[in-house]
Structure 1
């Protein structure tokens, strides 16, 4: 969309009860839904829109903020605003592997490792979840940001009993898949997992990690993974923005082998940088 198209197709309503920024937001939303503005397209600069429409930049900024909060726009510092990709569906009724799932969605997965170390005293909730006995509480701790197309999607903190995977701290998990490494190098094969989901408000520090404003809604996902023996070998706490991840539950009155009691699907909005 260029400025000339914008100028010809958008006009403010004479309805004074509808704020200007609301009208502008609605117009841009329709252009995105109609495919005029496509995922990855760069949005016109705010000052250019303000000049063409003869409104204040504050009005335009309010509109852009609304679109960002709706997940329709994404801002990249120093580059501008871009149209976000459409929400993408991922079935999590089956075991979840971020790397493989992002590839299956056509996204480029990557990780930023913040910490990877062996800790002697994990948090109490981790000790309880993994049932770590006294004297065997050394744990491999992996703290990383999981990214799709270069944009943070999940902030994950993973704990694994160190006696199961001695030497794992030598691996570079910015490039390697954790589950693949556990399987191939340590013969630890994930069989099943239990996840809990909690709605939260992101703190300033959490928002900085996920490249968003503080005090926005998010999801905290706690995952406890087990081997086929039933032994719990992994605890992961993940955090994601609510506008980037949507959960859908399909419920059946009479579950069968082909129709599980609850089918869970996670929709992830992947961001498209320039």
Structure 2
């Protein structure tokens, strides 16, 4: 089976698919003259993951099975798999094989930008699924904004995806007294772009990141079998006159995100 045919077939498979050793042989070509075999296997698998021929959540064959299919020692495959685990591309070892982990996204925190812009900067296709979008009154959230308890707020709950992979579950609130037309807009994309179009320009934010575990609902969204470590990002966004417009709590999957900072003396 050639790579193009295999890739097309992979797109039709649901996450969690177990690949047989035979289906990988044509993709894991080995040349005895091209250096250590374990390194060749590692480089080839990394390429297949990065080009999404092998999709996140899929399961590679067990070490012994793949070794027998390729005609190499189990130690060779074990060495390859261990290196992939250390780099975060493979999950834990099980009887049926090892699962492919989502690629970790290294994103900076040098300026205010939303999820849509962040994904585009990283070369990913952003998309959103709206779970809730309604006007609410919430005493505790209103106090975060410094507003009266009966102030109208828009509550927006979305699943944010990059290249169709669920990356976060985001709960956001917006001050409708500052942006009354917001509920009428298409909020499946960038809310920041919508705010700008209706005349509300965000200029700065306060953001914090803390460790958290995924809830049962969030684990189901991310495809986790049980609660996993995640990043809880809280953000308060303001206009130039320091009026708070947005408060967001987004839970991001910890197996896919790395946040980097540039610090100056």
Name the TM-score, length of structure 1 as normaliser: 0.66
CA distance in 1, matches of 2:120, 2:227: 31
Q: 1:188 aligns with which of 200, 223, 243?
A: 200
Q: Which residue of 1 aligns with 2:251?
A: 239
Q: Which residue of 1 aligns with 2:111?
A: 94
Q: Which runs of 5+ in 2 are unaligned?
A: 4-23, 32-37, 70-76, 92-97
Q: Which residue of 1 aligns with 2:25?
A: 3
Q: Contact conserved, 2:160 with 2:169, CA < 8 A, in 1?
A: yes
Q: Which has the higher contact order (CA 8 A, sep 6+)?
A: 1
TM-superposed CA distance for 1:238, in Å, is 0.5
CA distance in 1, matches of 2:181, 2:219: 32
TM-superposed CA distance for 1:33, in Å, is 8.3
Please say if 1:223 is aligned against 2:235.
yes
Q: 1:128 aligns with which of 113, 132, 143?
A: 143
Which string of whole-angstrom CA distances, capped at 9 and with x for unpartnered residues, describes residues 175-233 of structure 1? x4211111112x11101100011111222222112232322111111100111001111
Please say if 1:170 is aligned against 2:207.
no
Q: Contact conserved, 1:153 with 1:241, CA < 8 A, in 2?
A: yes
Which string of whole-angstrom CA distances, capped at 9 and with x for unpartnered residues, describes residues 109-139 of structure 1? 100000010012x251x2222011244x221
Paired residues, what number? 220
CA distance in 2, matches of 1:210, 1:233: 29
Please say if 1:31 is aligned against 2:42.
yes
CA distance in 1, matches of 2:227, 2:86: 12
CA distance in 1, matches of 2:101, 2:64: 19
User: SS at 1:207's partner residue?
Assistant: helix
CA distance in 2, matches of 1:29, 1:228: 54
Please say if 1:110 is aligned against 2:132.
no
Q: Contact conserved, 2:107 with 2:258, CA < 8 A, in 1?
A: no
CA RMSD of the aligned region, Å?
3.7
Distance 1:42 1:171, change over 3 A: same
Distance 1:138 1:69, change over 3 A: farther
